[in-house]
Amino acid sequence: MSYLFKPTNYKPKLNLQQTELGITKIKEFFQSNLSAELRLRRVTAPLFVLRGTGINDDLNGTERAVNFPIKDMGDARAEVVHSLAKWKRLTLADYGIENGYGIYTDMNAIRADEELGNLHSLYVDQWDWELVMTAEERNIGFLKSIVNSIYATFLRTEYLVSESFPEIKPCLPAQITFIHSEELRQLYPTMTAKERETEFTKKHKAVFVIGIGGPLGDGEKHDGRAPDYDDWTTVAENGLAGLNGDILFWNPVLELAFEVSSMGIRVDKIALLRQLEMEGKLDRLNMYFHKRLAEGTLPLSIGGGIGQSRLCMFFLRKAHIGEIQASIWPEQMYHDCKALNITLI
**pLDDT digit string, tens, across residues 203-223:** 999 999 999 999 999 999 999
Q: Which amino acid is at 139?
A: N
Q: What is the pLDDT of residues 27-72, one digit of tens each?
A: 999 999 999 999 999 999 999 988 888 787 765 556 788 899 999 9
288: helix, coil or strand?
helix
Give the integer Cα–Cα distance in Å for 55 and 112.
19
The catalytic site residues sit at 57, 111, 126, 246, 259, 262
Is residue 153 within 8 Å of residue 34, measured between CB atoms?
Answer: yes
**pLDDT, mean of residues 1-20:** 90
Nearest to 100 by CA among 248, 301, 296, 274: 301
Give the integer Cα–Cα distance in Å for 266 and 259.
20
The pLDDT of residue 257 is: 96
Q: What is the pLDDT of residues 257-316, one digit of tens each?
A: 999 999 999 999 999 999 999 999 999 999 999 999 999 999 999 999 999 999 999 999
Least confident of 7-16, 152-161, 200-209: 7-16
Top CATH class of 16-48+81-339 equals alpha beta
The pLDDT of residue 272 is: 96
**pLDDT exceeds cutoff 80 at 249:** yes
